[in-house]
Amino acid sequence: MVKGCYFFLLAGLCFLLSWAVSADNLVDPTAPKQTHTQPPTSVQVEQELPQLQSILLQEKFRSAVINNQTYLVGEVVAGYRVASIQANYVLLLRNGKTTKLSMFNADFLK
């Protein structure tokens, strides 16, 4: 009877120990070290410029296809206001700065 008690006590102790050391708590010694660094908050992520795909000029109507949508002068695309639409470029305004989107790469025109 005493041997049976020791057996159940030993089995219960093994069960408790195996439950306490679960796979969630184990660390893989071959895994690369995890560094928990946060990205710098002062660095501003640069936003991609809108992509100019085409320009349509008619007598009293000018439009530009930017990011697969048609825009007129004065409309806003990705936070930029369309300031001017010319034959080969579009001027965009944002925070007082002007950005020029050209239809052709400067190297292509040479």
What CATH number did the domain enclosing 105 receive?
2.30.30
Residue 103 lies in a domain: yes
Residue 12 lies in a domain: no
Sign of CA dihedral 11, 16, 22, 27: negative
Would you put residue 70 in left (φ > 0), alpha (ψ -120 to 50) or beta?
Answer: beta
Does the pTM surpass 0.85? The reply is no
Could you give the C-alpha distances from 64 to 36, 50, 77, in angstroms and in order?
45, 11, 11
Residue 42 lies in a domain: no
Q: Number of structural domains, the chain?
A: 1
Task: Give pLDDT tens digits along the chain (110 positions).
Answer: 555 666 666 676 666 556 555 556 667 677 766 666 666 565 555 568 899 999 999 988 899 999 999 999 999 999 999 999 999 999 999 999 999 999 876 554 44
- Residues spanned by the domain of 74: 52-109
Residue 84 lies in a domain: yes
Residue 7 lies in a domain: no
Residue 83 lies in a domain: yes
Residue 61 lies in a domain: yes
